[in-house]
Amino acid sequence: MARLVGVFLPGEPAEQAPPGRLVLPVMPTEVFGQRLRRQVEAGQGPGAELEEEVLQRARASRLRHHDLYLLLLVARGEAWTAAREAALDRAVAMPPAPARLLHWHAEQYGEDYGLTYQEDPVDEHGRHHTRARFTTPEETCLGPRRSGTARKAARHQAAGALLAQLAGLPEPAPPNDDKPSPTPKITVPDKHQDPVKRLDKLRQLDLITKPEANVRKRGPRVEVTYTCRHLATGTTVNAAAFGPDKVLARIMAPHSTRGVNLNCHPITQQSRPPGREVLALPHLIGA
């Protein structure tokens, strides 16, 4: 707060130079947008005033996505270098800005072209490895391979690297992602929680693939089978439950795919607990 308002903290030496108030952009946003577009479309450099405004807006996180698009994928020329590098730094620090800018850039080529990802299997350390691909009628640009402890992080890094490549700028240094984030614990939901929603949450956390449900009618009862894959181990999990109707069976089946036991073994017909109607495959809960 002291830095924001430009004052000393208690106990700081008074003889030091005043810290100075942070300077926010002084040009109205609409005026800035109009001047930026006019200079870019005219093929002219930004000039000292507009360049300083871009730099201030980048430092203050006040560059809009449209501003970033003009600076990175439309503006060209050495005079724009400082402003474009600042815009790229801002974009890669704002997930999912790189992907959004690339999607916008692809729209001019039609729906058959655009941004896609080439993803490798998760490695033994749980890291995701991804390359971003940008396809046009004339060519396909494949960005460098980037990694992250989560699928979204790897995709963001890959999109940022490809954006830098298409912009013709050096890629900003990625954040330190070497320390793995704690793996969320998978637990059995209690009776007040919706197990289907919990499964979807595990998918969002990149712990499992999207669960697929298969419904079959067996006499007066309905059987629902859920199938997914535990990404860290590659284990395919398949569990079923019966109910008098599809709604109840869908609620019961996900309970059989809860929790993670990395030492789980395939459940055979002999080892299956008596009276439990599940398929003879390994379960996430190992029980």
Q: Is residue 149 part of a domain?
A: yes
Domain count, the chain: 3
**For 64-97, what is each residue's pLDDT tens digit?**
999 999 999 999 999 999 999 999 999 999 989 9
73: DSSP letter: I
Q: Are 229 and 150 members of one domain?
A: no
Average pLDDT of the chain?
Answer: 77
Instruction: List pLDDT tens digits, range 9-50.
Output: 566 555 555 544 444 556 889 999 999 999 999 999 999 999
Decide if pLDDT at 262 tops 70. no
Residue 44 lies in a domain: yes
- Contact at 8 Å (CB) between 260 and 279? no
14 assigned to some structural domain? no
- Are residues 224 and 285 part of one domain? yes
12 lies in some domain: no
- The reply to whether 106 and 32 lie within a common domain is no
Give the residue ranges of DSSP H helices in 1-150.
2-5, 29-41, 47-59, 65-69, 81-92, 97-107
Residue 236: inside a domain: yes
Same domain for 102 and 41: no
Is there a single domain that holds both residue 152 and residue 168? Answer: yes
In whole angstroms, what is the distance from residue 81 CA to residue 66 CA?
Answer: 18
- The pLDDT, as a whole number, for residue 176 is 60
Please tell me the least confidently modeled range out of 67-71, 104-108, 109-113: 109-113
Give the end of a domain, one of 94, 122, 138. Answer: 94
**Is 69 a domain residue?**
yes
Residues 187 and 284 in one domain: yes
Same domain, 188 and 286: yes
Structure confidence by residue, pLDDT tens digits, 159-196: 999 999 999 999 998 766 544 455 566 776 776 777 77
CATH value at residue 133: 3.30.160.20
Is pLDDT of 151 > 80?
yes
Q: Is the domain of 118 the same as that of 86?
A: no
Domain that holds residue 89: 1-7+19-94
144: helix, strand or coil: coil
Q: Are residues 127 and 55 in the same domain?
A: no
Q: Cα-flanking dihedrals φ and ψ of residue 118, to 5°? A: -110, 110
* Domain end (from 112, 143, 178): 178
Co-location of 250 and 196 in the same domain: yes
How far apart are the C-alpha atoms of 65 and 68, rounded to whole Å? 5
Domain boundary among 131, 146, 178: 178
Residue 36 inside a domain? The answer is yes
Which SS3 state, helix, strand or coil, does residue 154 take?
A: helix
Which spans in 108-150 are helix H?
Answer: none
**Would you say 4 and 19 are in contact if contact means Cβ atoms under 8 Å apart?**
no
Residues 207 and 172 in one domain: no
Residue 150 inside a domain? The answer is yes
Q: What is the pTM of this model?
A: 0.56
CA atoms within 13 A on the CB side of 47: 11
Do 283 and 191 belong to one domain? yes
